[in-house]
Structures are given as C-alpha cells and as structure tokens.
C-alpha cells in the first residue's frame, strides 16, 4: 500500500537525503512502490544504490529486483555474496529467480544452486535451459492445480495452501491424474460460485501453449483472448508452467519497441541496458551504408542530366550529392529522436539519466557522421576528379553532425514547452534536418571548392 505522503516524495528529495545520510534516505522511501524505488536507484551512484538496497528486507529486495531494469540488477548482483543471492532466489518466483541468476557469474550461480534445496535447484536449471525467446523462458513453475472431482471450496483451500508459492494471479488449473490440463478456474469463478459446486461444472476451457513456442505467440494469445494466465505444456501435453498476463503483456510491448527501433536502424539493446557508444554506432551503421549506396547511385544518375559533369567541379557537381545528404541527415536525426522519445514516454529521462542519454545519443550521431563523412570522402575522391571528394566528405560530416544534435535537442525542446515529442519530433525533425542539412552541405562544400 502506498505511503500517505507518497505523492510528495520524489527522486530529487531522495537524492538530497542520500547525500547526507543513507539512513534518512532509507526512511524517506518507506511506502514508496518497488517500481519507483528501482527507478530511483538507477538514477544514483552504484555505491549509494547498494547502501540503500542493503538496508531493505529480503522480501523488499526481491520485490524491487522484480521491477528493476537489467542494468540495475547487474550492478546490484555484482556486489552480492552467495548468501545474499541465495536468500533472494528462495524468495522470488522461479522465472524471476532464473533472470536474476543470469546476471551473476557462473561460479556464484553454482554456489547458490548448491546451497538451495535440490528440487528447487533442479527446477531452476531446467528453466535456465530454455531459450529466453520461448514460452519456456517466460514461464514460472509455481502454479495451483486441482482435480476435476474436487469442489470450488477445495480449490480455495488449495490457494490458501499453495498461494504463498504460486504466481500472482488466483487462477487455478484443473488437471487429470497424469497432469494434463482439463480446465481453468478464474478468480471470478472462485469468488462467484458456491463452495460445494463441482470443479468440473464450473471450469472453463484452458488455454495452453507449447513450451518451445515463440514468445511473440505468447503475447498474441494472451492479448487476443484477454487471459490472466496461460498454461505451458511439454511435448506430451503435461502442464509444466504458467505465464502470467503481466509477463506476456510486457513481452508484447517489448517486441513492438524492438521492431520500432529496428525500423529506424537503432539498437534494440537499449531496451535492456545502456549500450556503449561504440556498440550503438555498430548497430546503426548498416542502415547508413544502404543510404550511402543509394545516394551515390543517385549522384551517378543525376550526373547524366546536370551540367558540369566534366572538367573542374562546379555547383552542379555539389547538387548531385544532395539526395545523399538528405537521406543521411534524416536517418541520423530520426534514430536519435526515436530513442529519446521512447525513453521520455516511459519516464526514463530524469535528472542525471537525461543528461547521460543526451550525451550518449549526441556522441553516437557525431560518430556516425564522422564515419560516413570519411567513407564518402574516399569514395567520391575515387570517383570524381579534383577536390570534390574532400569537399563533399567534409560537408557531409558537418551536415550529419548538425542533424545528430537536432535529433537530441528537438525532442527535449518539445518536452520543455509542453508539446508531445512523439507528435512533433518526427515530421518536424525530418523537415528541419532536410533543410538545415542541405543548406549546410551546399555552403560548406562550395566554400571548400572556392578556396
């Protein structure tokens, strides 16, 4: 339950107290939701995050880690002892425990698995063997089952008995003697039906999916039928796990975000961590390569129709490369703005995190511009006579670098003046990048040719 003063509490207030006293900071965030706690810890120094995290109870630590981003999980796990990690693994649902162990090194993981009960360790090893992109990689092994011959009252008793270790939902699966699912009891059925009603008379048809099915299929199935739990079965039809609607919906949203980032040539790694500048540059260069190739082909075609195709380079030679500049500048700006708009929509840009992401995205754009400029310089110097190659290359670098700055500044400016960046940043940024990039390119290239 939220603290009565929760609305007045903020990240800035937490940071102010943390600078003076860890104890005061720990007391300040009592009653704050675990998701907010995880977000606040990601915004402070790793040492401070660990000190405050260490003051929490095991239950609160587990709840916070269930809401934490991979980057924060990794930072905290790196500081844990085998005992700390073991306590958390025993407290968390199996699917979350496996995700947490993946952040630890192999030696620490083995120490933890050796210290927990053998049956639990075996379940976690089996879960970790499934691909993370499959239903098996999403499922939890804690679920509630009853037989068809039991009554609703028996199902309620099973919830009370097994509920502490079961998934968050109150859903109950009806299985036969072999463990194959026959039916499904929602919380609504359990609350509305008399306790003496036979389970087989109240249950509904269960929805299940193969353990090796793609996680996108999981998301589509849960969304299409409005499920709150989805059973996972093995090749023989036995119920071996359950995927909650929360996990399935999260996967669905994550897949959509990954597709959007891939569409603009940005790295989907930014969904799970804070990838380095070099890694993001490598992810974005393939789209730039296609743009460069198409731009150079356009320049060759335009050479046939424009004057100045021979002798000393002139204005018409510069204009032949405008399609190349427009494509590069637009792509670089849209990539940066897409990443930033997504982060803003999810509330990930606060305080120092905003400054860090702005620096990173600007650095990525500038690096891409420098690489593209150098490549274009070499290619044009090989294709064209005289100084045109050098002029085009330097002008390209200038125009693309400016577009990278626009890509980060336009969304932030829109947010500050109260305009939705998702609406304005796209079309406005493309037009601005096209115009500014073209003008910069022509001015710089012409100035270099006349030197």
Nearest-angstrom CA–CA distance, 334 and 170:
44
Rounded-to-integer distance, Cα 35 and Cα 261, Å: 24
pLDDT in tens, 314-338: 666 788 888 888 888 888 877 777 7
Homologous superfamily (CATH) for 145-253: CBS-domain (3.10.580.10)
Given the candidates 1.10.357.20, 3.40.190.150, 3.40.50.300, 3.30.465.10, the CATH classification of the domain at 264-449 is 1.10.357.20
Give the position of tokens 């934490």. Answer: 68
How is the beta sheet containing 229-233 ordered, strand by strand? 208-210, 229-233, 239-244
Q: What is the reported pLDDT for 3?
A: 43
- Provide the total of helices (H) and of strands (E) in the chain, helices listed first: 22, 6
CA dihedral (230, 235, 241, 247) positive or negative = negative
Between helix 322-345 and helix 352-383 the angle, nearest 10°, is: 160
Tell me the pairing of strands 172-175 and 145-146: parallel
Of 248, 244, 58, 280, nearest to 166 by C-alpha is 244
pLDDT of residue 110: 92
Question: What tokens appear for 134 in the block?
Answer: 């499959």
CATH architecture for the domain at 6-133: Alpha Horseshoe (1.25)
7 alpha carbon, distance to own chain's centre: 27
Residue ranges, the chain, pLDDT below 70:
1-8, 162-171, 260-261, 263-275, 306-316, 345-354, 385-386, 424-426
CA angle at 230 for the pair 229 and 235, rounded to the nearest 5°: 155
As a whole number of angstroms, the distance between CA 214 and CA 243 comes to 13
Q: Do 14 and 28 touch, CB atoms closer than 8 A?
A: yes
Q: Where do the domains of the chain lie?
A: 6-133, 145-253, 264-449
Instruction: Provide the pLDDT for residue 1.
Output: 40
Q: Which two tokens stand for residue 428?
A: 């406005």
**pLDDT for position 263:** 65
Q: What is the pLDDT of residue 392?
A: 83
Q: What is the pLDDT of residue 6?
A: 43
HSE toward the beta carbon, residue 89, CA cutoff 13 A: 30
In this structure, the strands spanning 181-185 and 172-175 are: antiparallel
Cα-Cα end-to-end distance for the chain: 71
| Helix-helix angle 352-383:388-416, to 10 degrees | 160
53 Cβ neighbours under 8 A, 6+ residues apart: 41, 61, 64, 76
Provide the edge-to-edge strand list for the sheet that holds 172-175: 145-146, 172-175, 181-185
Residues in Cβ contact with 218 at an 8 Å cutoff, skipping those fewer than 6 apart:
135, 138, 209, 230, 243, 248, 251
**pLDDT value at position 20?**
83
């Amino acid at each position: 339950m939220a603290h009565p003063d929760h609305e007045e509490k903020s990240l800035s207030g937490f940071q102010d107290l943390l600078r003076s006293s860890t104890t005061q900071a720990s007391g300040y965030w009592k009653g704050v939701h675990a998701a907010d706690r995880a977000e606040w810890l990601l915004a402070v120094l790793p040492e401070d995050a660990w000190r405050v995290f260490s003051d929490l109870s095991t239950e609160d630590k587990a709840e916070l880690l269930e809401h934490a981003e991979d980057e924060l999980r990794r930072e905290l796990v790196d500081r844990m002892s085998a005992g700390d990690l073991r306590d958390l693994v025993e407290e968390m649902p199996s699917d979350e425990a496996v995700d947490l162990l993946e952040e630890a090194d192999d030696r620490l993981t083995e120490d933890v698995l050796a210290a927990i009960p053998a049956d639990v360790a075996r379940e976690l090893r089996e879960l970790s063997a499934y691909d993370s992109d499959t239903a098996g990689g999403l499922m939890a092994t804690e679920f509630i089952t009853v037989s068809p011959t039991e009554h609703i009252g028996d199902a309620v008793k099973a919830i009370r008995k097994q509920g502490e270790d079961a998934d968050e939902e109150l859903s109950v699966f009806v299985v036969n003697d072999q463990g194959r699912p026959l039916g499904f009891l929602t919380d609504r059925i359990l609350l509305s039906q008399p306790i003496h009603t036979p389970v087989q008379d109240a249950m509904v048809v269960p929805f299940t999916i193969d353990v090796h099915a793609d996680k996108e299929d999981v998301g589509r199935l849960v969304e299409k039928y409005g499920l709150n739990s989805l059973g996972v079965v093995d090749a023989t039809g036995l119920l071996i796990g359950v995927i909650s609607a929360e996990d399935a919906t999260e996967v669905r949203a994550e897949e959509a975000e990954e597709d959007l980032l891939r569409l603009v040539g940005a790295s989907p790694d930014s969904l799970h961590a804070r990838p380095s500048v070099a890694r993001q540059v490598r992810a974005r260069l393939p789209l730039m390569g296609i743009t460069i190739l198409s731009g150079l082909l356009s320049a060759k075609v335009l050479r046939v129709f424009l004057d100045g195709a021979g002798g000393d380079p002139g204005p018409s030679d510069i204009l032949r490369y405008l399609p190349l500049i427009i494509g590069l500048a637009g792509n670089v700006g849209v990539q940066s703005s897409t990443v930033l708009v997504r982060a803003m929509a999810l509330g990930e840009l606060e305080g120092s995190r905003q400054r860090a992401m702005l620096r990173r995205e600007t650095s990525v754009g500038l690096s891409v511009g420098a690489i593209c400029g150098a490549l274009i310089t070499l290619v044009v110097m090989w294709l064209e006579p005289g100084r045109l190659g050098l002029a085009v290359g330097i002008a390209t670098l200038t125009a693309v670098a400016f577009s990278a700055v626009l890509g980060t500044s336009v969304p932030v400016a829109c947010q500050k003046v109260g305009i939705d960046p998702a609406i304005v940043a796209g079309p406005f940024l493309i037009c601005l990048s096209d115009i500014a990039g073209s003008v910069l390119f022509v001015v710089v290239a012409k100035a270099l040719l006349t030197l």
